[in-house]
């Protein structure tokens, strides 16, 4: 199920997310593993230090059906970050976990997969980054209306909507 324009009315603005982020930096988000499960379609991006959405990159990634799939396995998570262009799909997969008070959603993509019409064409193992360079999302909020917001390691802010 794809998010519709009607669904967008319930999504927060960048200014709202920045206010929530300030509160979360001080108090933590209280998010737990169970809050993150699902398939999250990318809806909006804001560049590092920007208060205006990055409309073109977000439009391109929405056109590619960019999504983050999160499944819980006990207290750990399995993540899949994927884009789709027609019958072609590119997926990064690996484990994830929550760390710290905020918390951070840290992860390692251990494999890269390319498939065509559901048939795997390529599957490669990826090397682990140095421990100090692990990718993460600093979680900001997960709203009952079905959206999730986080800031990535590179400083950009992302807003996903549950599909």
15-69 per-position pLDDT tens digit: 899 999 999 999 999 999 999 999 999 999 999 877 788 989 999 999 999 999 9
pLDDT of amino acid 118: 92
7-19 per-position pLDDT tens digit: 455 889 888 999 9
Work out the average pLDDT over 133-162.
93
pLDDT of amino acid 3: 46
What is the set of domains in the chain, with CATH numbers? 5-162 (2.40.128)
pLDDT of amino acid 5: 42
pLDDT surpasses 90 at 94: yes
Cα separations (Å) of 78 from 39, 86, 103, 142, 147?
12, 25, 17, 18, 19
> Which tokens belong to 34?
């169970």
How confident is the prediction for the chain on average, in pLDDT?
91
- pTM for the model stands at 0.87
């Amino acid at each position: 199920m794809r998010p519709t324009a009607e669904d967008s009315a319930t999504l927060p603005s960048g200014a709202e997310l920045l206010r929530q982020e300030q509160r979360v930096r001080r108090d933590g988000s209280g998010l737990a593993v169970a809050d993150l499960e699902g398939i999250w379609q990318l809806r909006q991006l804001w560049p590092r230090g920007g208060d205006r959405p990055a409309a073109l990159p977000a439009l391109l990634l929405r056109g590619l059906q960019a999504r983050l799939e999160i499944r819980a396995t006990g207290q750990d998570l399995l993540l899949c970050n994927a884009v789709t262009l027609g019958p072609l799909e590119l997926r990064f997969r690996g484990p994830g976990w929550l760390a710290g008070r905020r918390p951070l959603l840290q992860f390692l993509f251990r494999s890269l997969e390319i498939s065509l019409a559901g048939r795997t064409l390529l599957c490669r193992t990826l090397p682990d980054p140095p421990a100090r360079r692990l990718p993460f999302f600093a979680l900001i909020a997960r709203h009952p209306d079905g959206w999730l917001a986080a800031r990535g390691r590179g400083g950009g802010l992302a807003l996903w909507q549950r599909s």
